Structure 1
Amino acid sequence: MQTTAAVAREPRGAFTIETVTVEEPRAGEVRVAIAGVGLCHTDLVFRDQFVPYPLPAVLGHEGAGVIEAIGRDVTGLAVGDRVVLGFSSCGHCDRCGEHLPSYCRDFPPLKYAGVRLEDGSTAYAAPDGSAISSHFFGQSSFAAHAIVRARNVVKVDDPDAPLAILGPLGCGFQTGAGGVMRSMACPAGSSIAVVGGDPVGLAAVMGAVIQGCATIILVEPLADRRRLGRELGATHVVDPAAGDVTAAIRDLLPGGVDFAFDTSGRVPAIEAMLGALAPRGLLGLVGVPPNAGDTLTINIAGMITYGQRVIGIMEGDSDPRTFIPELIAAHRAGRFPFDRLVRTFALADINDAIAAQARGGCVKVVLIP
């Protein structure tokens, strides 16, 4: 069948809206009519070849929609199911067995190869028959229809859940909330500093509220996002342009913070968080650095003396099949109001949406085909 997709054809180039051919689902796949798909910074860094990715490509990895067709050997799913699309994992390696699918042995190729690993084929093609890369994060959902690995799919049982805006739960929002609720498992009464009032950072703030953190500090340069962070539960906000961030945090908590969570990927911001950690403090890193070769310098003696820890976090250490329903339930209960971050654009307006998000005119873009 034919569908409409936003195609990335060159690094840093505009997405082009094109009519493409989409295959029927093969074994282990489903076809989903996309109701909405989040725009994530990761989509742009792969378009721009931060990590090599075969172009032209249909990107997009925060989709939600309705199953239209089912391939062979797919169980537990039916045509008409409302679903959120998560990330790919193999389902049978050691980490998958521990319910940590974001650390799957095959995580990188399943997400970043741009093809089916079984035979190198793609789900999309241009009208002339030339291949267009697919299966980004196992879904490639910047399109009206996507061929998705069945293991990516999370059923939405709540009939009142706002399907069109649920897609970011599959990556950005679960990364932020999961980083606090799963990876670091911040206990009630603890303190946390979150760097970045972006979708991931604000999801972390909401996750910290759910966890019962007593002190939640948001470090963010944009006043509107600091204000929103306060409304979502941050107890304090820090403008990094106003001076020394480490000193500002220690003015609030002289002993330092129990936890820190960086979404910026910027070395100076991360070093400021290291300086603000309490003894036995834990720093979680989720931000993609500006340059693939960026490195962090750590004072080894200091880390040993104070027992401080630094961990990398992928997808919030979450198992999407259990954590996404948990976040949907929290939203229904008013405890995870992620809809306040969302602004919708038509998929055809993807380039305008990217510009608006870069200007800070909106926190989280969701594209509607």
Structure 2
Amino acid sequence: MKKLLVIFIGLSILLASCGPQDAIQILKVVTGQISNITSISADCIGNVTGDGGVAIIARGICWSTSQNPTISDSKTINGAGLGTYTCTITGLLPNTTYYIRAYVTNSKGTAYGIQKLLTTSDPGHTTTTLGGIITEDTYLSIDNSPYTITTDVQVAYNCTLTIEPGVIINGNDKYIKIWGVLNAIGSQEEKITFNNVKIAPGNNNNYELFVINIQYSIINEGSVYYPTGHAIYGSINIKDSELSDIPFLYIWYPKANCHIERNIFKRCGGINTGTDHEIKVYIRNNIFFQQQASSYSNTFAISNYASYNSSQTIVEYNSFLSTDKYAIYLPTGYSDANIIATNNYWSTTDVNVINTMIHDKNDDLGCANYIEFRPILTEPHPNTPVFNP
């Protein structure tokens, strides 16, 4: 009884100490998918997942041409309460980039979802539709941009889909599936933009290998190399690109060396590798910021489930900016999992903090190995992109 009394008193003190700021912290809203983008409008989904124990009085979407919009900027009001809501954002200017995020308000304050980018179309350019099976080499030119995917695109084996610098592709949550070759190579001055496009390998075989090459591209939502549910035979290279709000990449037994280099990953799922033979996956000079969990994975930046024979996942010169999340993750129960993770920048030089950013045999004896992470970088590598959160 005495113990129960102490617990009761402790809980009472804890609850009594909760003030308005605590309610705002528990108040939670998610900025969802942006779709149906025109020159003057777009649709956006929000989802209120927590009310902080205080009734919600307003929810909606706010936007601005400046970062981190608030309810003092342009906004919609979409009722109240928990759950998902959809709104139409109107009054936008053509060919303009906006920052958008969901909001929710109760009597204690206002909370915001993550910020997303929206670029309206240019009414002077007609949208080109894209879909179906591509059976010959095809070029998507800047003259015909932007492109809108109306049905899933399939690039056949022995065919190459080439996307020119500056092209914009609006995917509407549809696929570009590659049996052949995808060359999406932009330039530093004119990057390719993928909005809500799912880029995935096709269901090919061990004798007809696909290749996915992405460079100088901006990838907003959608997915890249997400699990397909079948064996995949090919390779992927992503360089000098910025990826935001996509689920994790599933680089599973590629048939050629893969290079993930000089990219910025913002609020993305992790990179998950499995390798065999002599294949190497090089993950170098990337920035990982606020990595997210997905329905398939825990929260991590990079994980490996198997490194058979002399294959390796080599992780070096990266910047891990979120010290409260796993950067490197070895799962439990996979006897051949391993990662080489020396010469990275961990946003700290405190070895104890770095150890909390790594899941290995120090955390669970069921893991296959201890991750060697020393030496460490005391500042970002000069070949890593500059990033301001």
> Shorter chain as normaliser: what TM range?
under 0.3
Which TM-score applies when normalising by structure 2? 0.27
Bigger helix share:
1
TM-score, normalised to structure 1, is: 0.28
**Structure 1 or 2: more strand by fraction:** 2
Larger RCO (CA under 8 A, 6+ residues apart): 1
